[in-house]
Amino acid sequence: MDSRVGTSFGGAAGSACGPVADGIRAASDRVRLHGDSFSYATPGMTSRACRTACSILVALADDPLCIETRGGRFQGRTLLVEPLRQRRLCASDVPLLLVDVEPIHARFRSLAAATAAADVLVLDDDLGDELRGLGLAFLTHALDGAVYDRALRKAIHHLANRFPEAPPPDERVVWMMRTIEGRPHCGLRELAQALSLSPGHACRLFSAQVGVSLRQYAVSAKIRAAARFLGEGHSLTDVALMAGFADSAHFAKAWARSYGRAPSESFFSRRLVRDRDTLPAWARQPATGPD
């Protein structure tokens, strides 16, 4: 496989040293949900994953991250991975921030379009500096809650602004996404009927606009719903049913495909810390029907 290496970094946000470096080495994995995206910071990890989100990965130290796909081997300190791309992340000793920008996010289509010509886009290091600073603060618990949410939202927009802006999606597609977010178990026929569309037309419209199928999006919504119960002591069977999965087996398979590990390793891990103030109020509003 070919090697595509990002540029070297020479700015102030380069190596972490002193108390910051000590804090990184001692840190637990940390996750925070944002409704239309989520953050995951870790002192290092390896994984195999395939997600509907557009993933931004930022190294929090001088060493680069390495991602392998069928298209090649990509190295850099700031990487943008296209949706639905099976990838292997090799960063066992590299602290990093992973931000998954979901299709419902306002800037998803711009970021996804930027990766259309490559599995993984290796960005210049300066494009990741804002996220790098946030990732260090998030991993070491120097930044919490709504303050981090607002800062991350700005950083995602600043990064997306470096790429051509995608046209807004069809309002019917937006309604389908919001409905699925509120009711992940909602079926295709119900969605299509509410919009006076045939199921086939609804599927084609959704896939063309979002870049993932309705079914794939619905599964990802269920996974995000399940993630709200991280660290709360629920059994995996209860989590699966609360999130809209038919049973724990379907849940386990979907979770493992998305995150490269069994759900038990996430839900019962002592190394994973989830922010208690998980979702802002706007992300908890129920979906409403089309006008």
**pLDDT exceeds 50 at position 233:** yes
Any domain includes 104? yes
Distance of alpha carbon 231 from alpha carbon 134, whole angstroms: 23
How far apart (Å, rounded) are the C-alpha atoms in residues 202 and 188?
8
Query: Do 26 and 126 have their domain in common?
Result: yes
- Together in a domain, 155 and 175: no
* Contact status, residue 4 vs residue 66, Cβ threshold 8 Å: no
CB 71 within 8 A of CB 118: yes
Q: Specify if 102 maps to a domain.
A: yes
pLDDT of the residue at 286: 43
Pair (224, 155) in one structural domain:
no
In this prediction, residue 146 carries a pLDDT of: 87
- Shared domain for 40 and 151, answered yes or no, is yes
| CATH code, domain with 177 | 1.10.10.60
The whole model's pTM is what? 0.86
Render pLDDT for 135-169 as a digit per residue (tens, 0 to 9).
999 999 898 888 999 999 999 999 999 999 998 88
Q: What is the pLDDT of residue 21?
A: 60
Least confident of 20-29, 42-51, 104-113: 20-29
Does residue 45 register a pLDDT over 60? yes
pLDDT band at residue 277, thresholds of 50, 70 and 90?
low
| pLDDT above 60 for 209 | yes
pLDDT tens digits for 68-91? 999 999 999 999 999 999 999 999
Q: What is the arithmetic mean of pLDDT over 232-250?
A: 92
Amino acid, single-letter form, for residue 88: R
Q: Are residues 44 and 141 in the same domain?
A: yes
Please tell me whether residues 41 and 183 are part of one structural domain.
no
> Measured between alpha carbons, how far is 246 from 214 in angstroms, rounded to an integer?
17
Residue range of the domain that includes 206: 171-261+280-284
Overall average pLDDT of the 257-261 stretch: 88
**Domain check: are 155 and 22 in the same one?**
yes
